[in-house]
Amino acid sequence: MKMKHGNVARRPSIDRITFWALVTATFHLFSCTVLTTISTTTAVLSNVNAVEGGIYTDIQSLGKISQEPQPAAAATPTPPTEEDDETPKESDDTRSFGSNEAGVWLYGRKSAPVQNWMIDELLQRNINTIYFSEVGDGYGWDDPEKASQYTSFINYARSNGMKVYAVALEDPLYALMTESELNAAFSDFISKTKDMFDTYIIDVEVHAINIIYPNGDYLPYMGNEKFYLEKYVQMSKTLRSIADEHGVKYIDTIPPQYHTQMIAAGIIGGVNQLSSHSINVMAYYSTPEEIMTSISKILKESKIRLVININIAKESLEPYLEAEGISWAIESLKEQSLPIGIWYADHYLLNLDPTLNLDPILFPP
């Protein structure tokens, strides 16, 4: 509403105190605005990923791995203090991930070659992150034609504002490797691919060792959780050291029950003893209620950033969500501002199951 001006006598000059107060306030406002702009610009630049690609050679196949007990991490964990409990989950290390992550696991080798139209489909659903699993043994990085296809796909995704993380070390046997063996596998792979990836997801599901190797000479996971989980913690420490040397981030992938199993095994703090920058929690259940119940403890007690992953693949060995439960689960997770991952993208990208047509409104930009 405009105010009408009457005949007001004009003062010959503004009071000096008032004048300098106005100048000071204006300068303060300008400074805050500039600093905020600079801070915002810096944050944006820090999230820009390199899009240069190349042709890479894959890591060597796994050799025979001994189960001889190895020393656990030397440091004895200290029980968390009250002050520790207030530590934010999103530290300076992980802030670049973003709390609005909507990711998908992409296994193009299982269905069709990766193509740029897949990116367009994901973008239409407001998916902003890809967990790219075409990076293991025999997946084609030693094939110039396939490597070029992967590179083009990843570059196209990034040029459209998406993040692409490499999924590597997808075998429970990595948890039994020595430090030198892990360094040979992980460090060598990072060296060959870090121009394309700045974040590596480790999918070492040690609890599945007897399922993947039913005839192997490996201790059963059930009843030997302490042995395997201590190995996992030791592996995580080694992988973090390797990641830091290369200036990249690494993410663990675990089921939510690892947290309680680790505590029961005497690993103080549970998953807080892991060394990764973030954790993908595989909350694979058939109802939203089961998902939320399964993550309640780890969600409350973890000081490491968590991304909650749901399963929509009907042919998988794990429980999965039916079509009507997917939306409910996503809404329940978003109500708590949790980053979300979906395993796996091919089902609704390639119409393997036409009922899984995720509504873009589930992931607002």
Listed in sequence order, the DSSP H helices in 196-266 are 209-212, 225-246, 257-264
Residue 91 bridge partners (DSSP): none
Question: Which range, 40-54, 157-171, 351-365, has the best average confidence (pLDDT)?
Answer: 157-171
Q: Is residue 148 part of a domain?
A: yes
Separation CA 3–CA 6 (nearest Å)? 10
CB 77 within 8 A of CB 267: yes
The pair of structure tokens assigned to 141 is 């990085």
What is the number of domains present in the chain?
1
In a domain, 224, yes or no: yes
| Domain encompassing residue 103 | 92-279+349-362
The answer to whether residues 297 and 257 touch, using CB atoms and an 8 Å cutoff, is: no
In a domain, 78, yes or no: no
- Tell me, yes or no, whether 343 lies in a domain: no
The fraction of the chain above a pLDDT of 90, given in percent, is: 46
Q: Is residue 315 part of a domain?
A: no
CA distances from 85 to 34, 80, 202, 269, 297 (A): 34, 7, 27, 11, 14
pLDDT digit string (tens) for 202-229? 999 999 999 999 998 999 999 999 999 9
Answer yes or no: pTM beyond 0.75: no
In a domain, 192, yes or no: yes
**H or E element, residue 306:** strand 305-311
Residue 311 backbone class (left: φ over 0; alpha: ψ -120 to 50; beta: rest):
beta
154 belongs to a structural domain = yes
Flag the least confident range among 24-28, 69-73, 171-175: 24-28
Could you tell me if 25 and 18 are in contact, meaning their C-beta atoms sit under 8 angstroms apart? no
Task: Give phi and psi for 33, each to the nearest 5.
Answer: -65, -45
Task: Tell me the CATH number at 169.
Answer: 3.20.20.80
Q: What's the mean per-residue pLDDT of the chain?
A: 75
The per-residue pLDDT for range 280-320, each reduced to its tens digit, is 999 999 999 999 999 999 999 999 999 999 998 877 788 98
In a domain, 322, yes or no: no
244 is written with which tokens?
């830091």
